[in-house]
Structures are given as structure tokens and as C-alpha cells.
Chains A and B, each alone.
Chain A
């Protein structure tokens, strides 16, 4: 019994000594806390990114398709001079932008209703409704859309039923726009909801007291305060669309290739250096986008 008590006491004293040591040296505490995540970040994330950039400056042997480790800018030169890659980049960025705007327009009223109007039970129900699609696989949802948009699919069945002609959306860029807007919508709704929910009621009351009508309050109070949320959501929708290659492959038609599809093709050829060079394009685009987002205050707490 006494032995047990002693053992407990010595354990406790060891713990005390450790915590005292940590208290005396705050940097040690910080180092222990951050070592693992910083290491993972540096090695896994930045390391992968760095090896991507490095291999972008290599080339493949045209005969054996083996990678030649000699520094060259040829890949970037090809990207610059062949208008095919400009076309594909333009299509990718354009559609990412269109999807982002669509999702913002759709998400705002929904998020506003959830955050400020709906009673609690409704709010919970709407949350489930918004998040429900995320419970099923992304692939399943894309395949579902393919059957909906097909010539013999549900959409045309409904249209024909009310006397309208076929929509003819299968395997088009419009189909990609619809599917992207659908799959990324939850990623816009949630940040916008968070931003709107945080607006104090008395701001709106103050606006009313000063004689502003509903539309004026929306424009001058609610929208500016919601902008960081919209921008945060747009980072998701924009970057997720920018990097996608599955939706273009499954619902896109002739002339629907994204940057990701070409990267996948080139990795398969295998021409890793060219794939790496083209893959730097979305990284740069995202960098510019994040700079703009910062300007718009997406990273500042309201």
C-alpha cells in the first residue's frame, strides 16, 4: 500500500517537474506542439509542390519516354505557343468563374433564409438538406446527372411530357456547368451562412431606425458584411472546379477538356514533366485568386 502511494507521489512529482520545465521555457512548449504539423506541412505538402515545380523543367526522351534530368524551359514554351493550351486554360478558368457566380447567387438567399428567418427546426432540416448530397460519393452524383441529362433521360422525359422539345444537354459544356454548380453548392452555402449568422440584429435595427428600406439595408449592411463569407465560399467553388477532371471526362463532350484532363493524359503517356508544367498553371491562377480574395477581406474575422 505504502509502495503504491510512493509510486503515485513520484509520478506526480515527475509530472510537476515536466510542467514546470515547460512553463519556464515557453518556446519548448511551442516547439513540441507545432513540430509534427510543421513537419508534415513542409515535407508532404511543400515537398510535393516543390518536386512538381522541379520536374516541370525536365523533359522526356522522345524515343524511350524516360525522363531526362536536364534543365529546360521547353515545356513552358510549348504551353505558351500552342493555342490549344490557351483554349483549355481559358475554358477551365471561365467555367470555374461561371460556377462560382452561379453558386453565390443560389447560395445567398438560401443561406440568408437559414441564418435569419427559418425557425430552429427548419434550420436543422435545411442543414441536413444542404449536406445530404455530401454523404454520397461524388462519382455517384455525377453519374446520376448523366442519366438525368441523357437523351432518353429524366429531363427530356419531363420536357416532352409538357410538350417541349429535347433539351439536348448531354455531353456539353452546359452540362458541366450544371453538374459543377450542383456538386459544389454546399461549399458556398456554409461560409455564407456563417457570415450572415454573425451579423448582430441591432445593425439591422439601426439601419431601419435610420429610415432605410429593406433593399437599402440589404445593399448597405448585409451584403458588405456577407462578402467575406461569399469570397471564402468562392475559394472552394473556384479551386475545386479549377482542379477537377472527372466531371469533364464523364459529362463533357467534344471540346470539354480541362487542364486536369490534359495533366492526366500526360501523366499517362507518360510525360510527367509536361504534366507538371501544365499543373503549375492552376497553382498560379489560384495564387492570384487568393491575393484578390485577401484584398476583399476573406481572411479577416468579422
Chain B
């Protein structure tokens, strides 16, 4: 290749790159309108189904065991997209110009994603009067802070579960009874922790009881001083952690393969491991636990709103709540599901704490997205961005 031709080629590449940059800048800049939602109180009645329903869901949240019947009755054919994490749900909902771009109808968001979706204008209010079972819900799940803002319901609560302390009973004797075990150097290299910024709340919850002088009232509302103390604790914990699991099935595999013997995980994993004969036991320490609560949230540009309402109505009925709870290993928000659970599996209602008195729920600190405004009008709490940055600093 001659020198001149080489130079010509170089200029051509530069010209192409500049052109592409200009096109991209113009294209992206032009569409820069932020989508703020104007909340409305939702539709007045449920019309005829549109024939299809597009869900972003946790795996098994529209299990054919109960979804088939819905499809036959309503004529709404379900198209599902399984999500692996709350972050994935939020980004799926946000692509396509906000609100999922008219592709999705419902998302089964957990409490660490729901406020982000509401604030981002990705979801719209639901007329709760169209969901009859809502009146039967355990009171704290009717209008919880993670899905209800200014009295507007951005979805309907579904199921919940605690984050439990799991341990291998043959390797850890005696079994731990406190969350302190997860911060105990004795168990160095045997611990697994979820790889999720909301996990900071677990450490804060532990400090709330072990260091009362920090004055932590709510593990999701942390001021700078409380937050720094929590992060310092987590940085020490990192030295003990073998694996930060991304999917609970990874944490499960680490327990099954003997790589870890202690960790924070979900009841569904306890059940799966015990079914495989792994000698694990779960414990919820006396002070309580953090927990997740899921909500079917209605996408702002939902293309099939009637099918979406029909689905929310269907999955909150006692029979379906019971079925889903036992398929996934979680607890319904509708206490009328109790006898149906026991019918499927004797004693399962008590096993999943659905028969507990109302004050039991004071010991479960449900996930919610941290925001600066945590009462007192001071706006001095650390927001979720700060949580995520700090989590990267701890684990990265």
C-alpha cells in the first residue's frame, strides 16, 4: 500500500467516524423529552380482553399450572419475559422511550424496583376497586409504601417472603441464631451474600439492634453517619464472603457443592436444597428479617389494559394465591388462601407464616427503594444512587 493511499484511507475513516458521531448526537439529542407521568386514577371498568397479555415476571410467576386456566377463560394469551434481577426489570421497562415503549402490560416488581418505576414514570395508577380480593388483603399489603404514593396505587400486591439465614447443619454446629453470624470472622470463606445493593439494608438492620446508639430507625432510611457505619461493616464482611450470588440458583449451587455453609438467601432455595438432600436449615433470627414484597405493576403504555386487570383480579384470588405461593415458595398477601394452601400441602399455611398475627409483620422490614426524603423534612437520607455506588465499592 502506498503512503498516499494509506493517508487517504485514514481520512476516510476519520470522516466516517465524525459523520456517525454527528448522526448519533442528533438522533439522541432530538428525542430527549423526559416522560413524566401524569397520574390518573385508572380506568373505571374492565372491558373485554384484548386477546394478549405481555408480562415481565420473576420465573414461575405465571406458571402454566394456574395461567392456563386464565388464558382459557379470558382469551388473553400470555407472552412472558423472565427477569433475573430487579435491575433487569427496571431496564426492560425503561427501554423503548420509557414505560416499556408500549410493549409490556405488567411487571412483577419487587420493593427495590417499584419506587424507581413509579418515579421514572414507567407505570400508571391502578383502580383498586376493580380488584375485589384487595379488600381481603392483610392490611399492610393494601397500600404499602413501596407501591402506593400519594394515595395512588401503582399496582396490586401479590406475594412476599423473608430473606433468611441459611446454614449447613452438618458443618455449622451449633446453628446460628443471630444475624451476627454473617459478620463473624469465625466463618471466613464460608459465607454467601446476595449481590444486590438493597443488601446494605440487611447490614443496617443488624446495626439497628447491635449498635442502638447509631439511631437507625428504618434500615432503608440512613443518614450519612449511619450509612458510613453500615458500609464500614460491609467492607469488613467482604473479607469473609466466598461468593456474592447474582441469581439465587448460584447461591443454591454453592451450598449444594459445599463451597459455602452459611448465607443469606430465600425460602425457595431452602426448599430446593432440602429436596436434593443437602443438610441445610433456615432460621429467621428473633429480631426479624428484611423481606421482599412483589407487586404486579401496570405499565404506563400497556397495550392490553383489560387483560392486565383481568390478570391482577385472577392472581389475587385465594386459590391462585395458594397455588403460586407453593410453586415459588413464598407467602400470599391474601389470608383467605390459607385453607387452599393446606389442601395442596398439609400444614403449609403455618409453614409460610400466613396464619401469623398482624404484629408478626413488624419484624419483617420490606424492601423499598431508598430516597433522600425520609421524614422530618430534612432530605438528609442517602438515595439509591449512593447505595448502588457504595455497593460497587464494597464488592467490586
Indicate if the CB atoms of B393 and A265 lie closer than 8 Å: no
Contact B91 A50 (CB under 8 A): no
Q: Are B396 and A87 within 8 A (Cβ)?
A: yes
Cα distance A171–B87 in the bound complex, in angstroms: 23
**Which of A46, A63, A267 contacts B17, CB < 8 Å?**
A46
The verdict on B383 contacting chain A, using a C-beta distance below 8 Å, is: yes
CB-nearest residue of chain B to A257? B396
Q: Given A64-B34, A254-B243, A270-B94, are A46 and B396 neighbors across the interface (CB < 8 Å)?
A: no
Nearest CB of A to B115, in Å:
10
CB contacts (< 8 Å) of A51 on chain B: these are 24, 27-28
- Which residues of A (212-242) have their CB < 8 Å from a CB of B? none
Q: Is the CB of A254 within 8 A of B28?
A: no
Q: Identify the closest chain A residue to B237 (Cβ).
A: A254
8 Å CB interface, B104-130 against A: 116, 119-121
Q: How far apart are the CA atoms of A5 and B11 in the complex, in Å?
A: 52
Residue of A nearest to B34 (CB): A66
CB within 8 Å of B: which of A3-52? 42-43, 46-47, 49-51
The answer to whether A153 and B119 have CB atoms under 8 Å apart is no
Q: Is B375 among interface residues, defined by CB-CB distance under 8 A?
A: no
Contacts of A55 in B (CB 8 A): 28
* Interchain CB contact under 8 A, B24 and A269: no
> Are B90 and A50 in contact, with the CB atoms below 8 A?
no
Chain A interface size, under 10 / 10 to 19 / 20 to 34 / 35 or more: 35 or more
Complex contact B257–A50 (CB within 8 A): no
* Cross-chain contact of A171 among B91, B94, B243, B395 (Cβ < 8 A): B243
Q: How far is the CA of A63 from the CA of B34 in the complex (A)?
A: 13
Q: Mark A56-85, 1 if CB is under 8 A from B, else 0.
A: 000011111111110000000000001011
A264 to chain B, nearest CB (A): 9
The 8 Å CB contact of B243, one of A43, A54, A87, A253, is: A253
Residues of B near A182 (CB, < 8 A) are: none
Which of B35, B36, B242 has the most A CB atoms < 10 Å from its CB? B242
Q: Does B291 contact A (CB under 8 A)?
A: no
Cβ-defined contact, A268 with B91, below 8 A: yes
Residue of B nearest to A156 (CB): B258
Q: How does the 8 Å CB contact mask read for A261-273 relative to B, with 1 for contact and 0 for none?
A: 1100101111100
Question: A173 → chain B, closest Cβ, in Å?
Answer: 13
List the A side residues contacting B383 at CB < 8 Å: 62-63
Q: Chain A contacts of B87 at CB under 8 A?
A: 265, 268-270
In the complex, whether B340 has a CB less than 8 A from a CB of chain A is: no
A186 to chain B, nearest CB (A): 27
- Chain B: CB-nearest residue to A147: B257
> Can you name the residue of chain A whose Cβ is closest to the Cβ of B254?
A171
Q: Mark B244-266, 1 if CB is under 8 A from A, else 0.
A: 10100010011001110000000
Q: Which of A167-214 contact B (CB under 8 A)?
A: 170-171
| CB pair A42 B259 closer than 8 Å | no
Q: Which A residues lie within 8 Å of B257 (CB)?
A: 146-147, 150-153, 170
Do A267 and B23 have beta carbons less than 8 Å apart? Answer: no
* Chain B residues with CB under 8 A of A127: none
Rounded to whole Å, the gap between the CB of A149 and the closest CB of chain B is 9
A85 to B29 alpha-carbon distance, docked (Å): 28
Residue numbers in A under 8 Å from B85 (CB-CB): 268
Measured between C-beta atoms, what is the minimum distance from A2 to chain B in Å? 53
Known interface pairs A51-B28, A262-B396. Does A249 touch B246 (Cβ–Cβ under 8 Å)?
yes
Chain A residues near B238 (CB-CB < 8 A): 254-255
Contact B116 A65 (CB under 8 A): yes
Task: Assess whether B20 is in contact with A69, with CB atoms less than 8 Å apart.
Answer: no
Pairwise interchain contact B392-A265, C-beta atoms closer than 8 A: yes
- Which 3 pairs, one residue from A and one from B, show the smallest C-beta to C-beta distance? A268-B87, A150-B257, A69-B32
Could you jot down 16 A-B contacts, CB within 8 Å? A42-B20, A50-B20, A51-B27, A51-B28, A61-B34, A65-B94, A66-B121, A85-B396, A150-B253, A150-B259, A171-B242, A250-B250, A255-B238, A265-B87, A268-B87, A270-B91
Give me the interface of A with B, judged by CB distance under 8 Å. 42-43, 46-47, 49-51, 53-55, 60-69, 82, 84-85, 87-88, 146-147, 150-153, 170-171, 249-250, 253-255, 257, 261-262, 265, 267-271
